[in-house]
Amino acid sequence: MRDLDETDLQILELLADDARRPFSDISEAVDLSAPAVSDRIDRLREEGIIRRFTLDLDQSKLAGGTPVLVRLRVVPEHVDSIRNALRDADSVEHLFVSVDGEVTFHARFDETGVRTALRELLDFSQIREYDVQLVESAEWTPTVNGTEFALECAECGNSVTSEGESARIGGTLYHFCCSSCLGRFEDRYDRLEARADATDN
């Protein structure tokens, strides 16, 4: 398990500010060669810290529709299905799930109306109640400055410390907070793979 050092954090901060920043600019800022910066970014991507490079669009200038902030009190056993439905929806711009299972999202809905859009998007039998507020303005300013970084355990979701373990399973690199979580994850992966093989035969 590789700890993130000060240089990694500097690189992340520079990329958070401008994901298109050339490696030559980053190398000057962190006092490394451009190939060394490229290697570090490749490792950060492999470890799942950088998932993708994307555009920071001002949707208010591009998208029509009504901007809303929606809070859902979800029936506990349906939180995952609601989260998945919202994650895949083009109208949803930001999505948050709290530890108590409350789901909050920022979205833009067209002229069909908010209630109609929600009913098309969600299964209301899975929701206890909801609240919708019109949004005057929205800002999204992700930063790595002042953030303590910790990877999330692929099994239990706890933070992975320097005592954690990493393993490549099925071609993907996963991080675990302890050997027990690694073992449980591998067991479940093996069972699912065996079941898939049995289905194919």
pLDDT in tens, 129-181: 999 998 887 776 655 554 555 677 888 888 877 778 888 888 777 888 888 99
Q: Which fold has domain 150-201?
A: Ribosomal Protein L24e; Chain: T; (2.30.170)
Q: Would you say domain 59-134 falls under CATH 3.40.50.620?
A: no
User: 60 falls in which pLDDT band (50, 70, 90)?
Assistant: low
Token pair, residue 129, equals 């109640």
The answer to whether residues 103 and 87 touch, using CB atoms and an 8 Å cutoff, is no
Share of the chain above pLDDT 70, in %: 86
Amino acid at 111: E
Q: Using the 8-state DSSP alphabet, how is residue 77 labeled?
A: G
* Four-way CATH pick for 1-54: 3.40.50.80, 1.10.10.10, 1.10.1040.10, 2.40.160.60: 1.10.10.10
If you average pLDDT over every residue of the chain, what do you get?
82
The answer to whether residues 92 and 105 touch, using CB atoms and an 8 Å cutoff, is yes
Please indicate whether residue 120 or residue 162 has the higher confidence score (pLDDT): 120
